Structure 1
Amino acid sequence: MSAPENFQEIYTDELKDLWSANDQMNRLLKKITSKASDPELKEMLTKSQAGISAHTDVLKELIAGQDEKVSKEHCKGMEGLVTEATKHIIEEGPKKGPLLDVVIIAQYQRMSHYGIAGFGTAAAYAKALGLKDDNKRLRDATKEIYGGDEYMTKLAETSVNIQAEES
């Protein structure tokens, strides 16, 4: 990627970066979903994969709408978060049960927070550029990601953390 020369290019670069971030998170979720023991957690991880795929489709459409080559730019930020999650969940984490579920939720939320920040930023860029439809679609995605994060907090506080403490 060359240095962006205008705000439009910064916006498009953000979309391409988010596409890469989504792909990386989705690949990890596919690996870890079966490791979750809590049925609600497992269901949420599965739903999240579908949501991430839908958000990726939105990103591709928005990139195409900017008369840009529909491609992604490798997201090093999510790469770091996925590396960290892999370490804590797959390589060095608890092998199964409520303790692993606690770790899965924590790592999921870290990655989700990155998505909230990225989609929110892209929405703000779209608004500043006068791209009303882009802004709405990106705000909607941000709200969905935030909703997933809130659900994970509720699941942790009302069930998973309690089970982990008792184990």
Structure 2
Amino acid sequence: MMAEISTLQELYVDELKDLWSANDQMAKALQKIAGQATNPKLKDMLQGSQDGIAKHTDLLKTLIEGQDGQLKKEHCKGMEGLVAEALKHTVEEAPKSGPVRDAAIIAQYQRMTHYGITGFGTVAAFATALKLDEDATQLTAAVEEMHNGDDMMSELAESAVNVAAVEG
């Protein structure tokens, strides 16, 4: 547990560490979930998402080091809950039908992604307030990348996966 937080800079570093943990948890979950996907484009997108998460994790580590923060994670309980739900609905108690399971995978992926978008958006705002302009620019770019991935997932759901799930 980190020492008592009394400044925005300390809160910023603490949140970066929390996001690092969230990213690592999401990446591990997606490795398990990707094997359950049947739609080839969904499989590809989940793989691409892994690369994006790794890139964003590297950014978080760089920013933590840049603030003289100790390079260690702060366990993220929020993502822990989202991951437990995601694995329950896509692996442990997954729908039998491939297309319905793919729809469940997209739903759970988007829940985890929206958590990331919120967290990265928050630290970008903290960086802006702290006049850490380079940090803010990089974090805002990460948020944009997550939004794009989320939009692509919605597009795949609406154009193919949900349609196939309805057809059975």
- TM-score range normalised by the length of the shorter chain: over 0.9
Tell me which residue corresponds to 2:92.
91
Between the two proteins, the alignment pairs up a number of residues equal to 167
Tell me which residue corresponds to 2:82.
81
Q: Do 1:37 and 1:96's aligned partners in 2 also have CA atoms closer than 8 Å?
A: no
Q: Do 1:17 and 1:72's aligned partners in 2 also have CA atoms closer than 8 Å?
A: yes
Deviations 1:72-91 (A, max 9, x none): 10000000000000111111
Map of 1:133-144 to 2, 5 A cutoff? Answer: 133-144=134-145
Aligned AA (1:46): Q
| SS at 2:152 equivalent | helix
CA distance in 2, matches of 1:126, 1:74: 21
Aligned AA (1:38): N
Tell me which residue corresponds to 1:19.
20
Percentage identity across paired residues of the two chains: 59
Deviation of the 1:95 alpha carbon: 3.3
Tell me which residue corresponds to 2:69.
68
Map of 1:4-153 to 2, 5 A cutoff? Answer: 4-153=5-154
| SS at 2:69 equivalent | coil
| SS at 2:35 equivalent | helix
Deviation of the 1:65 alpha carbon: 0.0
CA distance in 2, matches of 1:96, 1:163: 10
Tell me which residue corresponds to 2:4.
3
Structure 1 unaligned residues grouped into runs of 5+: none
Q: Do 1:99 and 1:164's aligned partners in 2 also have CA atoms closer than 8 Å?
A: yes
Per mean C-alpha deviation after superposition, the further-off stretch among 115-124 and 93-102 is: 93-102
Q: Give the RMSD, CA atoms, in angstroms.
A: 0.7
Normalising by the residue count of structure 1, what TM-score does the alignment of the two structures yield?
A: 0.98
Deviation of the 1:96 alpha carbon: 4.8
Q: Do 1:35 and 1:96's aligned partners in 2 also have CA atoms closer than 8 Å?
A: no
